[in-house]
Amino acid sequence: NNQFNVQNADGIWKSLQGTQRVVITEDINGTEIDVGTFYIDKWESKENAITITAFDSVGLIDRAKFMGGMYTDAPVGILIQQIMASADYSDYEIDEECFES
């Protein structure tokens, strides 16, 4: 119904944003399977179809600008938290051992 046509001013396309989170699932024999979580890089609409280029969480973290700093005797867990915060990424866990000096 023309929802991905960029010429349609009320189309779904206008809510797409760069680095927007997209969760992909697939239905296999009535069971929904998680394929992955991705983030929109760029997209284009042509003839009421849309092509989306996306990257995964590693790509999201890789694109982050982490300015770093001076670290003396800082546990690696603190550094990981700061890197992830700079990427605005929170879907991870750090082993408690990483916070030991």
Query: Are 45 and 6 spatial neighbours (Cβ–Cβ below 8 Å)?
Result: yes
Residue 13: the pLDDT is: 58
| pLDDT at 93 exceeding the cut of 90 | yes
Handedness of CA 57, 59, 60, 64 (dihedral sign): positive
The model's pLDDT over 30-84, given as tens digits with 9 standing for 90+, comes to 999 999 999 989 887 777 677 889 999 999 899 888 988 888 889 999 999 999 9
Per-residue model confidence (pLDDT) at position 81 = 94
Q: Which residue has the higher pLDDT, 96 or 5?
A: 96
Share of the chain above pLDDT 70, in %: 83
User: In this structure, which amino acid lies at residue 27?
Assistant: D
pTM of the model: 0.64
The identity of residue 25, as a single letter, is: T
Residue 71 CB contacts under 8 Å (≥ 6 apart), including other chains: 78, 79
